[in-house]
Amino acid sequence: MKDLMPINGLFEMPALPYEALGTIISKETLSFHHGKHLKAYVDNLNKLLPGSGLENLPLSEVVRKSEGGMFNNAGQVLNHAMYFEQFSNTPKAMSPKFAVLLERDFGSVEAFKKEFEQKGTTLFGSGWVWFSADAQGKLVITQQKNAENPVTMGLTPLLTFDVWEHAYYLDYQNRRADYLAALWQIVDWAIVESRLC
């Protein structure tokens, strides 16, 4: 996982490497989701960092060691940075080696995607569905509420789909399942696989 490092004790806004993602995520959604929601989390985190003792730590460490408002904002910065980074208009396909890992732990690539979508669809309220690796390399899918991130459970996060309504409502309205199913078309598996340390 590529961790964000503070500069002079503050985190910079992660860059967005595209303006829109075809018909999957519109420019309007990205304008609100990245330009307003993520920016607010970055700004709020930076207001809370000075004097906290956490201002020079990598973002994942801030998430592990913080609580309350700082945890909520740090978690949302980390979650969103990973979310936006993993997509592309020209995504790389999953490698055969990685497909074998999915087959080992889920039975098949399709079974993995079905379980991932099901957990994303059935997460009550706002949050994230995560695909991660545990310390032994076993691949797992978890549901995380609000700003939670698998790093707090000792997992290495590899892929996430945001199921807060602001992530999809402009493009999909209340059709969360359609949004989740569509995202596979823009997942860049080279980035996902690079997160498996």
pLDDT in tens, the chain (197 residues): 578 999 999 999 999 999 999 999 999 999 999 999 999 999 999 999 999 999 999 999 999 999 999 999 999 999 999 999 999 999 999 999 999 999 999 999 999 999 999 999 999 999 999 999 999 999 999 999 999 999 999 999 999 999 999 999 999 999 999 999 999 999 999 999 999 97
Residue 180 token pair: 């989740």
Give the whole-angstrom CA distance, residue 35 versus residue 33. Answer: 6
- pLDDT score for 2: 74
Helix then strand count (H, E) for the chain reads: 9, 3
Q: In what order do the strands lie in the sheet with 139-145?
A: 139-145, 127-133, 156-162
**Which residue type sits at 186?**
I
Distance of CA 40 to the CA centre of its chain: 17
Give the whole-angstrom CA distance, residue 80 versus residue 140. Answer: 20
- pTM, 2 dp: 0.96
Give the whole-angstrom CA distance, residue 180 versus residue 184. Answer: 8
